[in-house]
Structure 1
Amino acid sequence: MRYNGGLELTYGKLPAHIAEAVDYANQALAKQSVQIEQTSEKNHTKVLHAFQEANISTYHLTGTTGYGLGDAGRDNLDRIIASIMGTESGMLRHQFVSGTHAISSVLYGLLRPGDHFISVSGTPYDTLQQVIGIKGNQAGTLIDLGINFDILPLAEDNSIQIKQLDSLVKPETKLFILQRSQGYEWRNSLSIKQIEDFVKVAKAKYPYIDIFIDNCYGELVEEKEPGDIGADIMAGSLIKNLGGTLAPTGGYIAGREDLVAKAANRFTAPGIGRDVGATLDNLRLLYQGLFFSPLTVCEAIKGAVFSAAFWKKLGFEVHPQPEDERTDIIQAIKLNSQARMISFCQGLQKGSPIDAHVLPVPSEMPGYVDEVIMAGGTFIQGATSEFSADGPLREPYAVYMQGAISHIYVKNANILAALNLMDNNLL
């Protein structure tokens, strides 16, 4: 069945089983919308207060060139991100090229040759595996520099196995790292409550070991951030949650003052740290995107709930379930075949505002070992805050959806993905 993408709000002309899935998903979303909006309202108020406390004026929206000396707009963004994340210090920069770049700045800033660190949430995300040196053959990895690393897998119930830490902690252990999001794994993401429970025990038992949170995809989903519950430092991307779909690029680091300073020295150079760096014409979009971000995160969660219910009704395994509490914006759908995964992404692309006519195909991507396919007709290249679906071409052939400028066009795109599967006899 060929479909031109001009969906009516009633979806009256859809095949019966897809129309039933839409109705089911709308009902599932309606049950959760009030709670989602309440959390968004609290977070939006928090962001508003952070702006007001920093006394932001129009001149803060005007950037600098050259060295960027005395850039009040940049410095106040740092204060705002620290306030929102519940930390004493922060840095938000458009020069971060990705979340992995921001996370790497922390790791290289805090760790020295001979040090040891532990991922206590299982195997890190694909791109970080190459930074550490456990995949790929890159020069300058942490392992290449003599920094040692261990993995503590999550338990079968997705809990952090803190009782097993004693077998991994060494005198030279300096850092615990936790990945809040599920990444490309079929598991629950870590909730703030889980992180808080870990922080309490770890700080009591290992007070000399700092705790670092990869906060990508988790910002403003819950009412608290890792800084509010005692984590030492965190990092993330601005083309994910906190960019509000407007930030053209960038990332952030927030945490304890001394740790942020070390990461900043790695990001630029010792003696330069956070005091230099032109903001050019980016400040207004960074400020405005950050202010919008609680609203776009709200839309992303609504889109994720709809997507989970829609594909579950069509017979696919989804994670999280539609009714599950959310701690990030990612929704995973298990497609179980390469052909179905490619067809899904190609159908989803048809619902995009940009490049709806383009056919996504699997390809190599920097930082990934497996080929990746990505559907994402975004205004900002690769902005998963806007709405996209991607995944590595490997078992179980799952796609990971995230983001939304509007949850309404997420619905549209999901329907077009289902119709494309049906056209190819895969649904």
Structure 2
Amino acid sequence: MQIHPYFKIDNKICAAADDALAKAQSALARIDAVTDYNQQKMLAAFIECGVSESHFVASTGYGYDDRGREVLDKVYAKALGAQDALVRHNFVSGTHALTVALFGVLRPGDTMLSVTGVPYDTLQSVIGLTGDGNGSLKEYDIHYEQVDLKKDGTPNLEAIEEAVRPGLKMVYIQRSRGYSLRPSLFVEDIEKIAEIAKRKAPDCIVMVDNCYGEFVQKDEPTAHGADLMAGSLIKNPGGGIAPTGGYIAGRKDLVESCGYRLTTPGTGREIGCTLGNNRELFMGAFHAPHVTGEALKTAVFTSALFEELGYDVTPRWDEPRADIIQAVLLCEKEALIAFCQGVQKGAPVDSFVVPEPWDMPGYDCPIIMAAGAFTLGASIELSADAPLRAPWAAWMQGGLNFHSGRLGAMLAAQSMLEKGII
């Protein structure tokens, strides 16, 4: 591939990149086919909901009768294959959206069963597994149980069968791998878990943390047995345009309960001004399938490149994907830091910044993050981050377009080469 003279990349890296791109063509073509399907699905949702300029008008105060807010919910519901959706700019993170969903449908005395092991770091204090418990589910007498994954990182269906029982209120599934090397879950995996849950406890709620998984496959968990799911708009479903926000989608009655938790019982989703954010949220939704495809192609190329350079990767470049995350096992602290610093050099924003590990709130060890993004923390934009602990893996995700995402991966390798690691 031709590299602009501005980027000084060693011939060794360029040759490996050419080989990686050549062998990954079939995987890139599969991604394009899914992207094409999902982009058509999104366009159909916009057309069916009659999106118009009037839906972009700002509301203030209580936000009563905000037509744009109401139509945006309908667009997301159709695109995600759900009965209903709650899409708001004032969800401050994916963890916030998940928290609203959990508190929206769980009551004192209920039990939440996590069937994919311990949830992602920032949700542990919400449950009451870490921290002082103040405001957690535990403080409200909501109980937590857990089924660990099998040694190969896949759901233990036999153990789930034993753990689910009549009266259980929630089966909780984390689709993405988080800071682990276990496989992310396909909607077909979620469907198997949901079948067990509904057979053993017909009234239980199957809830999915869908972060990083939206628009990666042709269907979403809500079309495969999930009753409720949530995620962040500065990941896949915001298309790199939404400046903040999150969503909850699923069964209409459950989404309504979540609305009561987000605002107040009785008013629920009927209030909440949009302050002029609607245009960007609509635009982000429309771009989301395409941008997710670009992020997936960046992940495939990164996997192929670092495999060429001798590193273990997961998933491999030719494996099917259930989310946009690519893990590269770098084996040592210095390699991990150099990788993230190289990714930062390929950022359109703050490329001159040198990432260093720091004690980030919500995590139990220093974290290094590379993210030169237009929206702070937007992991649909090219980013790489990791806790500084074994197995010294970098988790890379995002890429608003494949061309710059591919270059970011090459600059990560170049950074390692310059430090004598490759």
**Contact kept? 2:339, 2:416, Cα under 8 Å:** yes
* 8 A contact 1:17–1:314 mirrored in 2: no
Which residue is 1:105 aligned to? Answer: 100
The letter for the 1-side match of 2:36 is: E
Residue 348 of structure 1: which of 343, 349, 354 is its match?
343
TM-score (normalised: structure 2): 0.96
- In the TM superposition, what are the counterparts of 1:123-272 in structure 2 within 5 Å? 123-169=118-164, 172-272=167-267
Q: Distance in 1 between matches of 2:118 and 2:385?
A: 19
Of 394, 397, 400, which residue of structure 1 is paired with 2:395?
400
Aligned equivalent of 1:322? 317
Instruction: Report deviation, 1:110.
Output: 1.1
**Contact between 1:115 and 1:174, CA under 8 Å: does it hold in 2?**
yes
Flag the 1:128–1:338 CA change in 2: closer, same or farther, 3 A: same
Aligned-residue Cα RMSD (Å) equals 1.7
**Structure 2 CA distance for partners of 1:202 and 1:173, relative to 1, 3 Å:** closer
- Matching residue of 2:307: 312
Q: Give deviations 1:83-112, integer Å, cap 9, x for gaps.
A: 111111111000000000000111111111
Q: How does 1:268-347 map to 2 (within 5 A)?
A: 268-347=263-342
| 2:19 alignment partner AA | Y
**Unaligned residue ranges in structure 2 (runs of 5+):** none
Q: What is the CA distance between 1:417 and its match in structure 2?
A: 1.4
Aligned to 2:367: 372
What is the distance in 2 between the residues matched to 1:144 and 1:26? 52
Q: CA deviation at 1:366?
A: 2.7
- TM-score normalized with structure 1 length: 0.95
Counterparts of 1:217 and 1:388, CA distance in 2: 13
Give, as a single letter, the amino acid of the residue that structure 2 aligns with 1:181. Answer: S
**Percent sequence identity over matched residues?**
44
Deviation (angstroms), 1:293: 0.5
Does the Cα contact within 8 Å between 2:339 and 2:413 map onto a contact in 1?
yes
Preserved CA contact (<8 Å) 2:175 2:184: yes
Greater alpha carbon shift after TM alignment, 119-128 vs 9-18: 9-18
Q: Is structure 2 residue 76 aligned with structure 1 residue 92?
A: no
* Deviation of 1:156 (Å): 2.8
Q: Deviations over 1:235-283 (max 9, x none)?
A: 0000000000000000000011111111111111111211110101111
The CA distance in 1 between the partners of 2:173 and 2:7, in whole Å, is 46
How far, CA to CA, are the matches of 1:135 and 1:24 in structure 2? 45
Q: Distance in 1 between matches of 2:336 and 2:8?
A: 25
Instruction: Indicate conservation of the 8 Å contact 1:192/1:224, yes or no.
Output: yes
Aligned length: 421
Structure 1 residues 13 and 356, CA gap change in structure 2 (3 angstroms): closer
Q: CA deviation at 1:19?
A: 2.4
Q: Secondary structure at the match of 1:399?
A: strand
